[in-house]
Structure 1
Amino acid sequence: MGVEKMDKSKAIKLIQDLSNARGISAFEDEVTGLFKREVADTGEITEDHMRNVFVNHQFNNGERPVVELDAHSDEVGFMIRAIKPNGQMMFVNVGGWATVTIPAQKVKIQNRNGEWISGIVSSTPPHFMTAEERTRLPKTTELSIDVGASSAQEIEEIYGIEVGAPVVPDVTCEYNEQTGLFLGKAFDNRIGTALLASTMKDMANEKLDVDVVAGLSSQEEVGDRGAEVVVRKIKPDLAIVFEGAPADDTVMPDYLIQSGLRKGPMLRDFDSTIVTNPHFQRFALDIAKENNIPVQRSVRTGGGQDGAIINRYNGAPTIVISVPVRYAHTPYCFIAYKDYENALELAKNILRKLNAQQLSKF
């Protein structure tokens, strides 16, 4: 079957649609729906009850090394914990948030009918704060979500919101043609999701020397839970992880910047969960150099991603190709189209050069 490749206008729309999609951990249905639509003609698609999606390249034959392409679909968000008598709703964080970025944000809450209700994260107005309270950061337990209700009965009967309801920031993704920048939410990891879909589309008509299986995994933000299931099903010999990594060019001195915007995808050597296979990493770096693809190398003192789970399953050599995300894990983030484009080109060129003999050298 002939599959049309991803052009720039389609890629921009895909990235925007994925950013706008609402999907905290375990509630990734909107995201998986978009992804499945995008890769519909690229191979066999299956989905499990965790919302993990698998795509087998149409030319896989089961007799070659298996390469897993991974990205996670979920975003950081919140969940309704309790409804107070006055209609204010307590919530918990789903994924890692800095509390300072949460107050006064507009959010969407999904009710029992699947409708998304607008609300705001409220806190005590300064008029009612002590001098000490005005100068310290609020705790999440001191914040609440307000949809304009005045009682718990209203929340139940009018808004249809229940305990356990998912909550996401209410942000619409924008693209600036002049700067080539996106401004939106959830680029960790909707940009990885876009890369996964784009790679499968662009490579759909190519006959490779490896079998390629895409695994769009769920629940990464709460402990890489989907990846644990995905890797056991795919059983990869090798893996490439697509991520949206925190950009450091606004917080680090020049000599420590390793994931700057517009400087190319970031190849991770080390984080708190994985030491990247140095042979596979060198292979990727050499391919980037041969094809004039700018890349950044990163040694992180923290962080983590699905690659650690994949690598620990059977020792499969794994690399992480990341697009830098300014202000990751906040409601508003920047990414650069050029970084997405270069990450895609790097992944495709790596796949074209992989074979059993090359794998034996890793």
Structure 2
Amino acid sequence: MNKIKLLEELSNLHGAPGHEIDVVEFIKNSMNDFNCKRDSINNLYIKRNDMIDGPIVALDCHSDEVGFIVENINSNGTISFLPLGGWHITNIPAHSVVIKNFKGEYIKGVVASKPPHFMTAEEKQKLPKLDELVIDIGTSSFEETVNLYGIEVGNPITPDVTFSYDPKIEVVRGKAFDNRLGCAIVMEIMKETNNIHLNVNPIGVVSSQEEVGLRGAQVAANTIKPDFAIIFEGSPADDTFKDAFSSKGAIGKGVQLRVIDAGMVSNPRVQEFVKNIARNNNIPFQVIARSGGSTNGGKYHIADKSIPTVVIGIPTRYIHTHYTYASIKDYENAILLGRKLLEALTVDIINKF
């Protein structure tokens, strides 16, 4: 399976926070040359069969995507829902979604609001509230929604989007690049380094529930207790609303190294090490300082004895919406940088951080 096909497979899967099992099983089945184990929070750990006596390096990504969960089935058959992850109200209405019932069946619906024909002049000037939106699957009663389609409170809901690739500009479009990009990258790095000598033990960590509080990463950090952590993340691109000078997250311009966000101030010694590896291998990178947002790095760098951590982002337009764009060049450069970091890391280097 080539890199683009792998990303397509991952993007098209559905995995709202806490309901990542389809993604986890796909990755597990795709990594049959490795020792894979899932825990009760839906984290998946991917280990080489030839583990050495050396430092552990976590290659972390998260399998979940922003989504929703069924809150209630209404008398007219529509479905009330709650958000799972950081949505903004303007990105929710009038989009197609998929509900997965507990039988494993997928039911398509549309996020609906009051039509403009029935709105007052005042209502047209206001943003809708989340509790004013419903999901309509085409039914007309509670009984139809429940008895014919098996919809229940607690069913996960995700965007209904199909992946595509534009070879002219080497850009992919799809849902859940935050963070199926990271999943694909971790899988590729583990495969590419499986038969080469390393001075460290890479462990792929496909963590759960990142979008609702970095929960899987907290469990993973305490489970494998890595000596170094590399976080791969689909990060917000800023090139469509900033000029070329101020943009630090342009797609196609290189991977993104994050020096600060709401969850972590990056270790400058780690940053310089990663930058030098990138420079020595002609891997383009961008450096960004963010006042908000966070990644799984926020849990790793304060776990155990404090784990040296770097966040490698792949700039992605419009994350936390239905449709996202990313550059294949950035995707491939993230794989290359991750591999080169593993090849360079030693116990002595890690101890200096």
**TM-score scaled by length of structure 2:** 0.98
Residue number among 192, 197, 204 corresponding to 2:194 in the alignment:
204
Distance 2:291 2:316 in 1: 17
Please tell me the residue identity of whatever aligns with 1:32: V
Aligned to 1:69: 59
Aligned to 1:269: 259
Aligned to 1:346: 337
Please tell me the residue identity of whatever aligns with 1:248: D
Aligned-residue offset at 1:211: 1.4
SS in 1 for 2:187: helix
Distance 2:30 2:289 in 1: 33
Aligned to 1:26: 18
Aligned to 1:13: 5
Aligned-residue offset at 1:117: 0.5
Aligned to 2:31: 39
Please tell me the residue identity of whatever aligns with 1:117: I
Aligned-residue offset at 1:148: 0.8
Q: How does 1:98-113 map to 2 (within 5 A)?
A: 98-113=88-103
Please tell me the residue identity of whatever aligns with 2:5: K
Aligned-residue offset at 1:143: 0.3
**TM-score scaled by length of structure 1:** 0.96
1:245-280 superposed Cα distances (whole Å, 9 cap, x missing partner): 000111223332111000011011111110111111
1:56 partnered with 2:36: no
1:323-359 superposed Cα distances (whole Å, 9 cap, x missing partner): 0110000000101100000111111011101001111
Distance 1:112 1:272 in 2: 36
Q: Gapped runs of 5+ residues in structure 1?
A: 1-8
Please tell me the residue identity of whatever aligns with 1:164: G
Distance 2:100 2:332 in 1: 34
4+ aligned runs moved over 6 Å, structure 1 = none
1:62-104 superposed Cα distances (whole Å, 9 cap, x missing partner): x211111100000000111011111111101100111111111
Residue number among 272, 284, 294 corresponding to 1:282 in the alignment:
272
SS in 2 for 1:172: coil
Aligned to 1:91: 81
SS in 2 for 1:156: helix
SS in 2 for 1:68: strand
Distance 2:248 2:28 in 1: 33
SS in 1 for 2:65: coil
Residue number among 233, 236, 244 corresponding to 2:223 in the alignment:
233
Aligned to 1:242: 232
SS in 2 for 1:167: strand
Residue number among 292, 297, 303 corresponding to 1:307 in the alignment:
297
Please tell me the residue identity of whatever aligns with 1:349: K
Distance 1:37 1:176 in 2: 28
Distance 2:192 2:281 in 1: 17
Aligned-residue offset at 1:242: 0.4
Please tell me the residue identity of whatever aligns with 2:230: I
Residue number among 116, 130, 153 corresponding to 1:140 in the alignment:
130
Q: Gapped runs of 5+ residues in structure 2?
A: none
Please tell me the residue identity of whatever aligns with 2:4: I
Q: How does 1:154-169 map to 2 (within 5 A)?
A: 154-169=144-159
SS in 2 for 1:245: strand
Distance 1:95 1:352 in 2: 35
Aligned to 1:323: 314
Please tell me the residue identity of whatever aligns with 1:262: G
Distance 2:104 2:157 in 1: 12
- Alignment RMSD, CA only? 1.0
Aligned to 1:3: none
State percent identity of aligned pairs: 44
Distance 2:351 2:43 in 1: 29
SS in 2 for 1:251: coil
Q: Is the 8 A contact 1:59 1:207 kept in 2?
A: no
1:112-135 superposed Cα distances (whole Å, 9 cap, x missing partner): 321100110000000110111112
Q: How many residues align?
A: 352
1:46-67 superposed Cα distances (whole Å, 9 cap, x missing partner): 1111110001123312x21111
Distance 1:12 1:226 in 2: 26
Q: Is the 8 A contact 1:261 1:336 kept in 2?
A: yes
